[in-house]
Copies of this chain bind each other. A is one copy, B any other.
Amino acid sequence: MAKTRKQPRPKAETPKGFRDYFGAEVTQRNDMLRAIAGVYHRYGFDALESSAVETVEALGKFLPDVDRPNEGVFAWQEDEADWLALRYDLTAPLARVFAQHRNDLPTPYRRFAMGPVWRNEKPGPGRFRQFYQCDADTVGSASMAADAEICAMLSDTLEAVGIARGDYVIRINNRKVLNGVMEVAGVLDPSDPDKFSHERGIVLRAIDKLDRLGPIGVRALLGEGRKDDSGDFTKGAGLSEKQIGILSGYIDSIAWSYEQVTSPIRDSGSGEWNEYILNQLERSVESSEEGNEGVSELRNIAKLVGAQGYGPDRIIIDPSVVRGLGYYTGPVYEAELTFEIFDEKGRKRQFGSVAGGGRYDDLVKRFTGQEVPATGISIGVDRLLAALREKGRIKAVAQGPVVVTVMDRDRMADYQAMVAELRNAGIRAEVYLGNPKNFGNQLKYADRRNSPVAIIEGGDEKERGVVQIKDLILGAQIAENATLEEWKERPSQFEVPRDQMLDKVREILAIHEIGQD
């Protein structure tokens, strides 16, 4: 056998842009996924868990950053065979699954999926290369009722996980309306869809930056171009004054609408808001067939969600929604949290988007050649969790177990019997399994685990048939706040007969409102 060479020690680090999740972070995410799945399931969606690994060929290139078509995914080549990659979302795999199994699946196929996705992007603060999504899609339905339902369900889901009504809004737009306005402005020719695609790309990206650049900056990008604060120049679409005028009217209405939508004063009772916006859009698209189809689809969705009682306080037509992904073909939606938080630089800002989706009628066609209409939503679970933590709706720290300390290492079996008794009663408990020599370390351990109770049974207690029970939560409160008098009145350690241990532990947990299984 070859001699083992001394190698340098490996670094104990996650790869850049990846992280680990501990304790409550994990269980809270699982609880949230479970709550979301509960709503999706009640709406009739079936679970699907597709493989995390796909062929690069099947995945396709539908990441927002179209300028880097080979970037964005983690990919590798099998021994002289297919290129494989980690999925970057749950939609591309759904298209593959439906194309592969379409003869065995019901149509429409309604599925939900949840799990990690991976993006090979430059990591940033709070931006990770692995994160969770939780999607629901209806494949094989051209009906706007499918889109309306997705939006209603998204509203129910946000409330089910603890976002209060009024703290969120679901905004709906339609790609066809956008195309209609482009047609009117002469940057889209329905008889030759590829024409002007370069200019349209610039226009779309400019509109998507409206919240950062403002209407004046966007307008500059429609014309010659724009110099930013650093002096860098971005070339514009080079449109004529007339074209810019047409698009500007639309952009102003978007800017105005966005401000209204995210302000708390918007009308919450009636459908008047939607009616107002829809009429305005109708004027913007003039005689464009596609544009009018888009407005009519939006009208249909507004009617359906309204009939189910989802007013503009929850779901609203909003032309400022663009959505980065290129594959959307009709309605697009976005769920935004409207409460304010402080960002990493201490500035107030709205929390922003936690979910998005839309109609994509061409994804399955890639595989089969036949158009299959589809629509769906993706919830960014990690962002939603961050929002709930911001609002103080979930605590960051989990409750630790009752810790049975080890006073006499030869009586391990006795201590194991104690935890067995507690566990059988549904109480989280464990024996201290480190080196028991230093008793202080055992209490430090219990403290670090956020344990509510420690149990002590030394030789003396054993002889007298009793145990010592320390209320660690009360102990910590006393240590922090109490004067000497109060300390005397409220002992945090109790001696009870061994056969009353369980009852006393139960009593202490109940005082601190700690749930048992």
Contacts and interface: CB of A to CB of B under 8 A. Distances in A.
Interface of A: 1, 3, 9-15, 18-27, 29-30, 34, 37-38, 41-44, 46-55, 57-58, 60, 74-76, 78, 82, 84, 86, 96-97, 99-101, 106-108, 110, 116, 118, 129-130, 138, 140-143, 145-146, 148-149, 152, 194, 197-198, 201, 303-304, 307-309, 366-369, 398, 400-401, 403, 412-413, 416-417, 419-420, 423, 426-431, 433-435, 445, 448-449, 517
Contacts of A51: 14-15, 18-20, 130
B445 A10 contact: no
Nearest to A59: B10
A431 B308 CA distance: 13
Listed residue (A9, A201, A427) with the most chain B CB atoms within 10 angstroms of its CB = A9
B423 A43 contact: yes
Contacts of A18: 51, 53
Given A12-B96, A413-B304, A130 B53 contact: yes
Interface of A is mostly: mixed
A434 B10 contact: no
Oligomeric state, in number of copies? 2
A141 B74 contact: no
Contacts of A99: 12
Given A100-B13, A428-B42, A517-B42, A433 B108 contact: yes
A22 B46 contact: yes
A55 B9 contact: no
A55 B58 CA distance: 26
Nearest to A128: B51
A308 B423 contact: no
Query: Closest 5 A-B residue pairs measured CB to CB?
Result: A44-B430, A12-B99, A307-B413, A76-B76, A26-B47
Nearest to A429: B44
B14 A130 contact: no
Given A26-B47, A44-B401, 12 more contacts: A10-B367, A11-B57, A13-B55, A13-B58, A14-B100, A20-B48, A42-B428, A44-B403, A52-B118, A106-B448, A146-B433, A149-B430
23 contacts: A1-B194, A9-B366, A12-B58, A12-B96, A13-B58, A13-B96, A14-B54, A15-B51, A20-B50, A20-B97, A25-B49, A30-B37, A42-B423, A43-B429, A43-B430, A52-B118, A53-B118, A108-B445, A140-B434, A146-B433, A148-B416, A149-B431, A309-B420
A174 to B, nearest CB: 18
Contact of A368 (B12, B22, B96): B12
Nearest to A81: B16
A484 B20 CA distance: 64
